[in-house]
Amino acid sequence: MKRLITWVFVLALLAGALYGASYVGARARAGMLLGNKLPSLGTRQIAFAFDGAKDLAGHPRAWVISYGPTEIVGARQIKIFVSPTGTLLATLPRDLETRLKPYQDPTP
């Protein structure tokens, strides 16, 4: 019985570590996309879509990082979809990177 409890505890710790690493990876990927110099993005909400991201084709499981209301021209609300492994899946609006260009540092 002691062995079973130990294995359950170890598996729970491992699952928690994987979940935490996935969360940190999603936050880092969104941060790389957004950059340093940003307008006000409003309130940030982060959720993992266990049932799949309804806004994406095929409804993949993903971290959904949403901001709003933002000061980005033409984008009052933005959403960034990141896979559990840290891959950028999509953004709403689709041209978010283009809309962020005026706020990013020019390369010297």
DSSP per residue, 17-74:
HHHHHHHHHHHHHHHHHH-SS-----EEEEEEETT--TTSTT---EEEEEEES--STT
Reported as a single tens digit per residue, the pLDDT across 48-62 is 999 999 989 999 999
Reported as a single tens digit per residue, the pLDDT across 20-75 is 999 999 999 998 998 877 778 889 999 999 999 998 999 999 999 999 898 888 88
pTM (2 d.p.):
0.86
